[in-house]
A and B are shown apart, each in its own frame.
Chain A
Amino acid sequence: MNVFRLVADLMHLASILILLLKIRKTRSAAGISFKSQLLYLIVFVTRYLDLFTHWVSLYNTAMKVFFIASSGYIVYQMQRRYRATWDPALDTFRIEFLLGGAAVMSLIFHTKFTFLELFWTYSIWLEAVAILPQLFQMSRTGEAETITAHYLFALGAYRGLYVVNWIYRYATEGYWEWIPFLAGMVQTVLYADFFYVYFSRVMRGKKFELP
């Protein structure tokens, strides 16, 4: 564990708490892409299949359980209690391409052809693009609530900091995995436009609006 990964994990934790807060406080999931939330649930379930086979630490297990449980809770609540508060007509990104593309990528690029390793790799590739339905929806509507922008910033910063963590780990431990590094870079690049608007507008107290 190093400071980059710790802060990254805490940002990830914060992002989910901010999202839960937004839904509870506004009693609405408006502006949130259900498809992105569904993809994150798939990401965490497929990545943490080793939850029962491989013990790392209490921290590691608790975070895995939280990420699976919270993403499942959000997907469930968006379908149930908050079903009427968001508009599926705005959430039109074709996630079949993301699900299929991540499957192809994990079949071509992986380190071992085993059940756990393939699903882990699948989750890494899928996470890189899971935010696309959300960004696509925001590009259609041209705006986002401030609390939603904070949620997305924390979520994007988490993976960006993981990239820094991997560079740091390579320098200090010789630990290197190129698949998550590449996927983390792709994800961070996808966030570039969002980060630009976030820093230039939301951080200065203005509303998140696309030019």
Chain B
Amino acid sequence: AAVAGGKDEL
């Protein structure tokens, strides 16, 4: 999950 759509951080 390294690109937009998989981002879980702030």
Q: Total A-B residue pairs with C-beta atoms closer than 8 Å?
A: 37
Report the bound CA distance from A60 to B9 in whole Å.
Answer: 8
In residues 56-91 of chain A, which contact B (Cβ within 8 Å)? 56-57, 60, 63-64, 67
Interface size class of B (residues with CB under 8 A): under 10
In residues 1-10 of chain B, which contact A (Cβ within 8 Å)? 1-5, 7-10
Residue from A12, A54, A175 in contact with B10 in the complex, judged by beta carbons closer than 8 Å: A12
Using Cβ atoms and an 8 Å threshold, which residues of chain B touch A64? 10
Residue pair B4, A54 in contact (C-beta under 8 Å): yes
B10 to chain A, nearest CB (A): 5
Report the bound CA distance from A5 to B5 in whole Å.
Answer: 20
Binding site for A on B (CB under 8 A): 1-5, 7-10
